[in-house]
Chains A and B, each alone.
Chain A
Amino acid sequence: MAQLLKQGQVTVNNWQTLDTGTTELPSGNLLVPVELWQQLSLGAEQHSGEIGLWLDGSEEIEQLADLLIKAPVIGIRFSKFADGRGFSMARLLRERYGYQGELRATGDFIRDQLYFLQRCGFTSYEFDDSVDVAEASKSLNDFTDAYQVAVDQQVPLFKRR
């Protein structure tokens, strides 16, 4: 995925995502599978770039959370855009485990989900080259306010009316 939407800006994605099963670390910034992250964070290896991790929306993060939240970037991968588990996972990382770093949507999400993704705590979005990301980023602003509490708004509308 070559393009990254981050803080409303289109940038070049200079992070490489490693598939599960990879053992050799290439140079540069890496998003590694969560299993590899567990191994690396135990050994604190020398590496030329930064290392973050990615996981699927189905991951049981409760036991891993202490380790995960140290990552500079966590990618949540959507295997299908209609699989909404990643939305819950993002809120858990932010609201329950206090993750402060970059939370990135990867995989098969669509631009029409950007507003909801943002509300659940995502801060960056990987797009492939075919997408006009500047155009797609308009969907971040589909709505100006919302009824519910979420990561971006901890005061429900009923207390602000």
Chain B
Amino acid sequence: MYRYDQYDHKLVDERVAQYRDQTQRYLAGEISEEAFLPLRLQNGLYVQRLAPMLRIAVPYGLMSSQQVRKIAEISRVYDKGYVHFTTRQNIQLNWPKLEEVPDILAELASLEMHAIQTSGNCIRNTTTDQFAGVAPDEIEDPRPWCEIIRQWSTLHPEFAFLPRKFKIAVCGSEEDRAAFLLHDIGLQLVENSEGDIGFHVFVGGGLGRTPVIASSIREFLPKQHLLSYLDAILRVYNRYGNRDNKYKARIKILVKAWTPEVFAERVEAEWAHLKDGPATLDGTEIERMKSFFTAPQYLSFDAGETAADLQSLAKDNRAFSRWLDRNVRSQKQPGYSSVTLSLKPAGVAPGDVTDVQLETIADLADRFSFGEIRSTHNQNLVLADVAQPELFDLWQLAKSAGLATPSIGTINDMICCPGGDYCSLANAKSIPVAEAIQRKFDDLDYVYDLGDLELNISGCMNACGHHHIGHIGILGVDKKGEEWYQIQLGGSANSNAALGKVLGPSLSRQAVTDGIEKLLDVYVENRLEQESFLSTYQRIGIEKFKQRVYGTAS
């Protein structure tokens, strides 16, 4: 993984000092609320319903075991002993004290972490595939590019006060595991007909009130031009994005208003001035960045023997076999697997993890995954590069720490925002809905029979829980002071990204789980062999689901 040199260290240290001074001036009444707002947001600090919330950056979801131990310690000393993993691979502390935030940032800086630009109208954390570097379908490891973008976007002097927040995702493989078409800029590593690797550039995707799938504006951008081209996109947006109405301020609205073709022309015209300028990347820098993301010392195993051993363990142990099926996936490196540690046991807010669990995870990473941990946009953690003969030991340890719920990719692995329990924007609670669903569908055989099913829950239309792209999406709405839930069907975040359709009138909290059960019944009754929920929905349409839930005559 990337390691700081003296320049990176100095920059984050200076950022801590700057923010400490800003906090002191705010507490002394020398900075107005209005002026302090963007300053604290650009350091990840929100003021929430019950307490401030601090969002810590996890650049492209990659952490070392030392960093995870530090997070555990911070959560114990400065918070209530647990943290939350977000859909943008970041970490949130729910109960820090505003006046202690500078100290927290200093602790983070000591281990090469920060909260820079995790909120506010600026360029946010760049996200990517949690299986970067190990995915069998990868064209190129996206992480060096994410780090190049991280450095370019960090304290960029021109783009700190954009019309609205700005999110970039990089996808390095054929299958999309980064939801890159739902970002302000989505970059897909592609190979052109000459065999060169570059970027297919998409702009204007996003969720929120106006969900939009990103449009292609350039099919092939040679690598060395990445930063000057990003500068051109951001400059066009910074100058022409809507600043009068925050609900029309995202780049997606500008791209729609101009059309993607016109937007692309404007970017190209701007880029003509910047192309081949000083921001142009050279081979030395690209190689330097790649040198941080090299393969660990893999061992070679007797593949046949390993497979036989696992098979026999799985045969004797149903729980282990389930975990292998759902939580373990193969890598491009033979003999190694990537293990998803579930942060979705029933009864715990999805994505929440305690300080003690974090320390266990760090220990597991040291023992099994070369000291590295990855966070996922589905709010789980991944240990990559686990030697297959070690899987059984890892499973036992993960299980006793409550991290081996074998439900990855099933209905119980839902994405869920913090909702009305924490967030001051929410119209409704989301965590209790997630829990009710997990408790309702606790029969694992049934859950496995349902197969791959993405269920996403947002507590308001800002869509932090990605309800638009769930196969089943649940959106909390406020009806005269009561919490109701709208159901959407057919969303998808993969390469054929699609936005869900509203099923019908919203349901009361009590009716949601029954409603979901009816949807699942329709699926089970109508599916063809091996057909997923999403495919069945796409084939039979929304009507049958609607009739079952609302009881209307067919």
| Chain A contacts to B: CB under 8 angstroms | 81-85, 87-89, 91, 96, 110, 112-113, 115-117, 119-120, 139, 142-150, 154-159, 161
Q: A82-B121, A87-B161, A149-B279 are in contact. List 17 more A-B contacts (CB 8 A).
A: A81-B35, A84-B162, A85-B239, A85-B243, A87-B158, A89-B239, A142-B17, A143-B15, A146-B11, A146-B155, A147-B154, A148-B152, A156-B278, A156-B279, A157-B7, A158-B288, A161-B5
Within 8 A of A (CB), among B1-38: 5, 7, 10-11, 14-15, 17-18, 22, 31, 35, 38
How many residues on B have C-beta within 8 angstroms of the other chain's C-beta atoms?
A: 38
A148 to B227 alpha-carbon distance, docked (Å)? 9
| Residues on the A chain within 8 Å of B31, using CB | 112
| Residues on the A chain within 8 Å of B156, using CB | 148
Q: Shortest CB–CB separation between residue A140 and chain B, in angstroms?
A: 12
| Residues on the B chain within 8 Å of A143, using CB | 11, 14-15, 18, 155
| Residues on the A chain within 8 Å of B248, using CB | none
Task: Say yes or no: B157 contacts A146, CB within 8 Å.
Answer: yes
Considering the complex, give the chain A residue whose CB is closest to the CB of B289. A158
Asked if A84 meets B278 with Cβ closer than 8 Å, knowing A143-B155, A147-B151, the reply is no
**From B5, B10, B161, contact of A84 by CB (8 A):** B161
Asked if A120 meets B158 with Cβ closer than 8 Å, knowing A88-B239, A142-B18, A155-B278, the reply is yes
Task: Say yes or no: A112 contacts B39, CB within 8 Å.
Answer: yes
| Residues on the B chain within 8 Å of A144, using CB | 10, 14
Considering the complex, give the chain B residue whose CB is closest to the CB of A150. B157
Within 8 A of A (CB), among B256-279: 273, 277-279
Considering the complex, give the chain A residue whose CB is closest to the CB of B158. A87
Asked if A116 meets B154 with Cβ closer than 8 Å, knowing A96-B273, A144-B14, the reply is no
**From A112, A150, A156, A158, contact of B22 by CB (8 A):** A112
| Residues on the A chain within 8 Å of B331, using CB | none
Most B CB contacts (10 A, CB to CB) among A116, A120, A144 go to A116
Task: Say yes or no: B39 contacts A154, CB within 8 Å.
Answer: no
Within 8 A of A (CB), among B116-153: 121, 151-152
| Residues on the B chain within 8 Å of A115, using CB | 157
Q: Is B238 an interface residue (CB 8 A)?
A: yes
A87 to B121 alpha-carbon distance, docked (Å)? 14
Task: Say yes or no: B155 contacts A149, CB within 8 Å.
Answer: no
Q: Can you spell out 15 A-B residue pairs with CB atoms less than 8 angstroms apart?
A: A84-B160, A88-B158, A110-B35, A143-B155, A144-B14, A145-B10, A147-B155, A148-B156, A150-B157, A150-B158, A155-B278, A158-B284, A159-B282, A159-B285, A161-B7
| Residues on the B chain within 8 Å of A149, using CB | 277-279
A156 to B231 alpha-carbon distance, docked (Å)? 14
Q: Shortest CB–CB separation between residue B285 and chain A, in angstroms?
A: 4
Task: Say yes or no: B239 contacts A158, CB within 8 Å.
Answer: no
A83 to B5 alpha-carbon distance, docked (Å)? 34
Q: Shortest CB–CB separation between residue B8 and chain A, in angstroms?
A: 9
Task: Say yes or no: B285 contacts A158, CB within 8 Å.
Answer: yes
Considering the complex, give the chain B residue whose CB is closest to the CB of A138. B21
**From B11, B235, B288, contact of A145 by CB (8 A):** B11
Q: Shortest CB–CB separation between residue B386 and chain A, in angstroms?
A: 34
Q: Shortest CB–CB separation between residue A141 and chain B, in angstroms?
A: 9
| Residues on the B chain within 8 Å of A145, using CB | 7, 10-11
| Residues on the B chain within 8 Å of A157, using CB | 7, 151
Within 8 A of A (CB), among B93-108: none
Q: Shortest CB–CB separation between residue A49 and chain B, in angstroms?
A: 32
Q: Is B159 an interface residue (CB 8 A)?
A: yes
| Residues on the B chain within 8 Å of A142, using CB | 14, 17-18
Number of A-B contacts (CB under 8 A): 95
Considering the complex, give the chain A residue whose CB is closest to the CB of B243. A83
Task: Say yes or no: B278 contacts A154, CB within 8 Å.
Answer: yes
| Residues on the A chain within 8 Å of B238, using CB | 84-85, 87-88
Q: Give the 9 A-B CB pairs with smallest separation, nearest first.
A: A84-B161, A119-B157, A116-B157, A158-B285, A147-B151, A87-B158, A142-B18, A149-B278, A149-B279
A119 to B39 alpha-carbon distance, docked (Å)? 18
| Residues on the A chain within 8 Å of B38, using CB | 82
Q: Shortest CB–CB separation between residue B280 and chain A, in angstroms?
A: 9
| Residues on the A chain within 8 Å of B273, using CB | 96
Task: Say yes or no: A81 contacts B161, CB within 8 Å.
Answer: yes
Task: Say yes or no: A120 contacts B35, CB within 8 Å.
Answer: no
Considering the complex, give the chain A residue whose CB is closest to the CB of B35. A110
| Residues on the A chain within 8 Å of B158, using CB | 84, 87-88, 91, 116, 120, 150
A161 to B152 alpha-carbon distance, docked (Å)? 15
Considering the complex, give the chain B residue whose CB is closest to the CB of A142. B18
Most B CB contacts (10 A, CB to CB) among A88, A150, A155, A157 go to A88
Task: Say yes or no: A148 contacts B157, CB within 8 Å.
Answer: yes
| Residues on the A chain within 8 Å of B161, using CB | 81-84, 87, 113
Considering the complex, give the chain A residue whose CB is closest to the CB of B235. A88
A156 to B7 alpha-carbon distance, docked (Å)? 12
A111 to B228 alpha-carbon distance, docked (Å)? 28
| Residues on the B chain within 8 Å of A88, using CB | 158, 235, 238-239
Q: Shortest CB–CB separation between residue A86 and chain B, in angstroms?
A: 9
Considering the complex, give the chain B residue whose CB is closest to the CB of A96. B273
Asked if A112 meets B35 with Cβ closer than 8 Å, knowing A82-B161, A157-B151, the reply is yes
Task: Say yes or no: A147 contacts B160, CB within 8 Å.
Answer: no
A139 to B19 alpha-carbon distance, docked (Å)? 11
Within 8 A of A (CB), among B220-236: 235
| Residues on the B chain within 8 Å of A154, using CB | 278
| Residues on the A chain within 8 Å of B17, using CB | 142
A56 to B427 alpha-carbon distance, docked (Å)? 38
Q: Shortest CB–CB separation between residue A58 and chain B, in angstroms?
A: 8
Task: Say yes or no: A147 contacts B10, CB within 8 Å.
Answer: no
| Residues on the B chain within 8 Å of A96, using CB | 273
Within 8 A of A (CB), among B393-445: none
A87 to B156 alpha-carbon distance, docked (Å)? 11
| Residues on the A chain within 8 Å of B35, using CB | 81, 110, 112
A150 to B277 alpha-carbon distance, docked (Å)? 11
| Residues on the B chain within 8 Å of A82, using CB | 38, 121, 161
| Residues on the B chain within 8 Å of A89, using CB | 239
Q: Shortest CB–CB separation between residue A156 and chain B, in angstroms?
A: 6
